[in-house]
Amino acid sequence: MDKFDWTQFSKRIFIKADLSSVYNTWTKSQELEKWFLSKARFKSKDGKEISLSENITSESTYNWRWFAQNHYEEGIVKEANGIDYLEFTFAGNCTVKVHLSKVKDQTLVELSQTEIPLDNNSKENIRLGCAFGWTFYLLNLKSVLEGGLDLRNKDTELKGVVNN
């Protein structure tokens, strides 16, 4: 474990969907709520609510909630280029970057989370916990886009399962 990098991780997945559709799943509240969140709300940099069907822009702020979890995230969208790249703060001061690229008839989603602190709590809950969480949610994104099946547990009484 001496050489294990606790400060960052990356995940990649191919999805049989066009790049624009995949980009929208990351940048529209109504789309984020289909595969990732129970509630996604954004405000523009001037503080105005962004419509659930509108793409977010750079410098937007967000408030996110999940099903079956007593947890929420607030952060800032550092960059949203409108095509294939999104960067936002997450889990405190960490940065998540999402790169999309067309590969044959699929879209490659590459997610990285960086700037993870090195205290034991961050190692466990951010480095390991977020890596586990992003793995599930990226698989759920693929499931929703390719077949329409949402794998999330939405029952607040059922806790401690892999699909929370």
**How much is the pLDDT for 155?**
86
Under 8 Å between Cβ of 144 and 150: yes
For the cut 90, the answer to whether the pLDDT of residue 164 exceeds it is no
The mean predicted confidence, pLDDT, of the chain is 96
Q: How many whole angstroms separate alpha carbon 42 and alpha carbon 77?
A: 9
Neighbours of 147 (CB within 10 A): 9
pLDDT in tens, 62-78: 999 999 887 899 999 99
**How much is the pLDDT for 99?**
98
The whole domain housing 66 covers 9-147
- The edge-to-edge listing of strands for the beta sheet with 9-15 is 9-15, 106-114, 94-103, 85-90, 72-80, 61-65, 39-43
Looking at the chain, which runs of residues are DSSP E strands?
9-15, 39-43, 61-65, 72-80, 85-90, 94-103, 106-114
| Domain-located, residue 68 | yes
| Domain-located, residue 164 | no
For the cut 80, the answer to whether the pLDDT of residue 1 exceeds it is no
- Quickly state the pLDDT bin for 105 (edges 50, 70, 90): very high
Tell me the whole-structure pTM to 2 decimals.
Answer: 0.96
**How much is the pLDDT for 157?**
84
Q: How many whole angstroms separate alpha carbon 144 and alpha carbon 121?
A: 32
Supply the CATH number for residue 39's domain: 3.30.530.20
| Domain-located, residue 4 | no
Under 8 Å between Cβ of 61 and 55: no
- Quickly state the pLDDT bin for 125 (edges 50, 70, 90): very high
Share of the chain above pLDDT 70, in %: 99
| Domain-located, residue 99 | yes
Domains contained in the chain, number: 1
